[in-house]
Structure 1
Amino acid sequence: MKAGLGVNGEYIYQQEKHLTVLKTSLFFANDGFIVYDCKGHLLFRVDSYGRDKGQLVLMDAHGRCLLTVRRKRPSLHQRWEGFAGERSEGQKPIFSVKRSSIIGRCGMVVEVLNNPGEEYQIEGSFGQRNCRIMNAGKESMAEIRRKVDASRNVVLGRDVFSLSLRPGFDGAFAMGLVLVIDQINGDDYVQDYKAEVFPTTDD
């Protein structure tokens, strides 16, 4: 059984994989991401400077476009769509992501458009770096967690986090979902981060 949408076979691993994701801007959502594998090699990068704010491109270490995510407008549920490679006019999306509800903080639903039976749920708090991508059987396929510096046993800031992949789950697809989650929850993230770094005090 296929464990997840295959965006690029190069990033489907036979063993569980732990990636390190660095968010390159703390106060303006989605300015960029850099992703490293467990050996410290650059795997993916996203640089949204000068790009349409409603569209992001996931690239490999050499700048090759792997996946484009684009906000669909209008959409009450903040629906986003994913396209293989660099999106061209008239190209059909390969997956879509939307909020489960238009009210308050909630989970998200991921539909794989060329396979109606393949669906995923995203639950948890991205702002707290604690969420999971689960398949229709409620099995965890990928997890986002706070990054821990094992040498010092210190939890790092939320600009650096871990993305763990279950064997067979495409890392490019998972990172594309991270981009969408960050876009949808970006305001929550910025407010939570500012509150953590600059707490208010009563006189």
Structure 2
Amino acid sequence: MFVFFKSLSGSVHDEEQPAEAELKNNMDLNDDCTSLTVWRKSLITSCNGFTVIDTNGNLVYRVDNYMVRPQEVILMDGAGKSLLTMRRRKKLTMADTWLVYKGEADEEECGRDKLLLKRPIYSVKKQMGILQANRRNNVLAHVYDCYGEASKCKRYAYAVEGSYADRSCKVVDEYRRAMAEIKRKEATIGGISFGVEVFVLMVKPGFDTGFAMALVLLLDQMFS
């Protein structure tokens, strides 16, 4: 299955070069931006998840969930090492809120490393329609920098705008500079229609690609 997707991804990138060039212009991205092909499918047949490869066909990220609506999602690298853990915040609130931790939050560590794993680095909050201050930008979620404590998540560091259902949204900072963008693939190659299951994640230099992919996972949990 992975060999098929690797070949498919190469065709996607070759076929979609003009579209990607247009996307880069729209985002003011340069040739150093990272382009990842995201497949909304786990490599494990019994799981829900994601498979992510780069333009060379290398597996860079993977997600394997045994539940359709899990309370915890773990982003792994290609070798299966846990990079980021996203946990739904257990609090009575209208908005769906997730905390993002480094590594695997439940793994057995000792000393200071274990304490660091328990501290969220970001909080991602779904924007409710009735509370949305700026409907024109169609804000989906706000990302708060926690500085190690969820209680200190006061001012948002990033906003996610657009439509995840259409695979057309972007991550912008407080100055409205695009940091990453999700772009739907419309191409049909060899009779295969990609639909919304295969799409491209474009990431600006300096913005962590793993965190960008983590935001994709949370958007999928919030809006699928």
TM-score, normalized by length of structure 1? Answer: 0.74
Stretch deviating more after TM superposition (110-119 or 136-145)? 110-119
More helix by share: 2
Partner-residue secondary structure (3-state), 1:108: strand
Q: 1:15 to 1:174 in 2, by over 3 A?
A: same
Instruction: Please give the alpha-carbon distance, in whole angstroms, between the structure 1 residues aligned to 2:84 and 2:69.
Output: 15
Work out whether residues 37 and 200 of structure 2, in 8 Å CA contact, stay in contact via their aligned partners in 1: yes
1:175-194 CA distance string (max 9 Å, x none): 111111100001xxxxxxxx
Residue type at the aligned position of 2:145 = V
Partner-residue secondary structure (3-state), 1:107: strand
Q: CA deviation at 1:156?
A: 2.5
Aligned equivalent of 2:126:
99
Aligned equivalent of 2:198:
160
- 5+ residue gaps, structure 1, are 1-13, 187-203
Instruction: Please give the alpha-carbon distance, in whole angstroms, between the structure 2 residues aligned to 1:97 and 1:50.
Output: 21
Aligned equivalent of 2:9:
none
1:126-183 CA distance string (max 9 Å, x none): 000000000010011000011254978x973100000000011100000111111100
Aligned equivalent of 2:100:
82
1:78-115 CA distance string (max 9 Å, x none): 01010000013871100011022264985210011118
Aligned equivalent of 2:211:
173
Asked if 1:63 is matched to 2:63, the reply is no
Instruction: Please give the alpha-carbon distance, in whole angstroms, between the structure 2 residues aligned to 1:107 and 1:51.
Output: 21
Q: 1:40 to 1:149 in 2, by over 3 A?
A: farther
Partner-residue secondary structure (3-state), 1:77: coil
Partner-residue secondary structure (3-state), 2:105: coil
Q: CA deviation at 1:34?
A: 0.3
Instruction: Please give the alpha-carbon distance, in whole angstroms, between the structure 1 residues aligned to 2:77 and 2:195.
Output: 25
Partner-residue secondary structure (3-state), 1:182: helix
Please say which structure displays the higher CA radius of gyration.
2
- Return the structure number with greater relative CO, CA threshold 8 A, min gap 6: 1
Identity of aligned residues (%): 36
Instruction: Please give the alpha-carbon distance, in whole angstroms, between the structure 1 residues aligned to 2:39 and 2:69.
Output: 21
Work out whether residues 76 and 102 of structure 1, in 8 Å CA contact, stay in contact via their aligned partners in 2: no
For residues 15-54 of structure 1, the aligned pairs below 5 Å read: 15-24=32-41, 31-49=48-66, 53-54=70-71
TM-score, normalized by length of structure 2? Answer: 0.67
Which stretches of structure 1, 4 residues or more, deviate above 3 A after TM superposition? 102-106, 115-118, 148-152
Asked if 1:112 is matched to 2:112, the reply is no
